[in-house]
Structure 1
Amino acid sequence: MSIAERQISALLRQVASHDVVELIHPFADWKTFGALVHIAECYGFRYAEVRHVGRQKEIRIFLVRDTSPAAQQRAAATAAAYPQAGGGGPVPGMHPGTLVPLPEAQADVDLVTTLIRYDAAGSAVNRKQLMTMAWGSAGLFLLLALLTGKFAVLLPLAVLTPVFLLGSLRIGTARREKLGQRLAAAGCTPVRDEYGRDRFVRPGTAGQQTGHTA
């Protein structure tokens, strides 16, 4: 069984027995996550959110069971059409044995992949915390320079450390803005969820809430 088939099998085991699906796969790329989310949504789930967990900021993607009649009808139709899914058989929207989208599923996979990347970029960056770290590090190195007299070493650090942190923040913000522009161009609606996070809702899902995985 290929890596893709194992990932699909693990996903469908969760789909069959859980109301919340969690995707971890530490070595998966964004397109793989997008493909897995597409498959899960064919089985009556919907993408909820991205979280960065632990000191290593491991990416975890969450989906929740969609209880709407349309989603449940879609799940029943998918299960009937793909009876061997998870056991090496075909799955909706993918070339057999892979997580490579079929042409008819490519646009949806691309859109959800962009949505995941946008949410992940927002989850990874705490602007207030990073600003505090940048200016706090500058103050700390200046204080150490005054206390130790090692100006040649500590003054450059007092300048370069906040420059690096603030530069990283600026680059991350610019990348997220570009992803947001792509989502808006695709017809997604900007919203602010119950946690105050800036999110996007895909066309046709405007009535659905985001992020209910707690």
Structure 2
Amino acid sequence: MSLADRHITALMRQITTQDVIELVHPFAEWQTFGALAYIAECYGFRYADVRLVGKQKIAHIHLVRDTSPQAQQRAAANSAAFPDPGPGRPVPGMYLGSLTPVPEAQADVDLITTLIRYDAAGAAANRRQLLAMAWAGPALFLLLAVVTGKYAVLLPLAVLTPAFLLGALRINVTRRAKLGERLLAAGCTPVRDDAGRERFVRPVSYGV
């Protein structure tokens, strides 16, 4: 069984048994998450959010069952058109045995992927936390330098740490802004969620 088939099998198991789907594939590319989310949405789910978990910042993609009439109609139509999805059998929007979108699904997969990347960039760029680390880090290194006398090692770290963290924050902000421009161009609407985070809402979902 190919890696794509394993991903699809695990996804279909969640689709048939759960109302909340969690995609966790530590080494997967963003496009893989977008393709899997597309398939899930074809069966009556919708992308909800992404969390970065642990020191390695592993992405956890969440989808929830969509109870809207349009989503339920889409799920019924795809269940009829693809009654037995799985290894060696077709699934909506993908070439057989792969997570490569067919041309008709490519734009929708790209849009979901961009949404996931935008939310992930927001989760990674905790501005308050990074700024706190940028100032606390040098203070800690300076204190250690005074205590240990290892100025040659610790003073450069006191200078480089805030430069690295602030640089990483700036790069992340720039990258997220570019993703936001792509979402705006695709017709998405910027909103703030209940936690005050900047996010985007897609236009009316795609059809079958």
Which TM-score band (shorter chain)? over 0.9
AA of the residue aligned to 1:74: R
Aligned-partner SS, 2:95:
coil
Check 1:9–1:184 CA distance in 2 against 1; reply closer, same or farther (3 A cut).
Answer: same
Distance 1:9 1:149 in 2: 58
Distance 1:150 1:6 in 2: 52
What SS is found at the alignment partner of 2:49?
A: strand
TM-score (norm 1): 0.92
Tell whether 2:3 aligns with 1:3.
Answer: yes
Taking the aligned partners of 1:75 and 1:117, their CA distance within structure 2 comes to 25
What SS does the corresponding residue of 1:25 show, helix, strand or coil?
A: coil
Contact 2:87 2:97 in 1 (8 A): no
Trace 1:16-27 onto structure 2 (pairs within 5 A): 16-27=16-27
Paired amino acid for 1:67: T
In structure 2, the residue matched to 1:212 is none
Aligned match of 1:28: 28
1:174 aligns with 2:174: yes
1:139-159, Cα deviation, whole Å (9 max, x unpaired):
122233334443332221111
Q: What does 1:85-164 correspond to in 2, within 5 Å?
A: 85-164=85-164
Counterparts of 2:19 and 2:116, CA distance in 1: 20
CA distance in 2, matches of 1:120, 1:150: 38
User: SS where residue 61 of structure 2 aligns?
Assistant: strand
- Distance in 2 between residues matched to 1:62 and 1:46, nearest whole Å: 9
- The residue aligned with 1:191 is 191
Instruction: Return the letter of the residue paired with 1:191.
Output: V
Q: SS where residue 22 of structure 1 aligns?
A: strand
Residue type matched to 2:13 in 1? R
Counterpart-to-counterpart distance in 2, 1:186 and 1:69: 24
Query: Which residue does the alignment assign to 1:210?
Result: none
- Distance in 2 (CA, whole Å) between partners of 1:38 and 1:122 is 21
Letter in 1 for 2:82: Y
Mark the CA change 1:148 to 1:119 in structure 2 (over 3 Å): closer, same or farther. Answer: same
Quote the RMSD (CA, aligned, Å): 1.3
1:50-104 per-position Cα deviation (integer Å, ceiling 9, x unaligned): 0112232211000000001111111011000001212431011001111000000
Residue type at the aligned position of 2:188? C
Matched residue count: 205
Stretch of structure 1 that moved more, 31-40 or 122-131: 122-131
- Tell me how far 1:114 sits from its aligned partner: 0.6
Deviation for aligned residue 1:107 = 0.3
Moved over 4 A (4+): none
TM-score, length-scaled by structure 2: 0.94
| Structure 1: gaps (5+ residues) | 206-214
- In the alignment, is the contact (CA less than 8 A) between 2:47 and 2:64 conserved in 1? yes
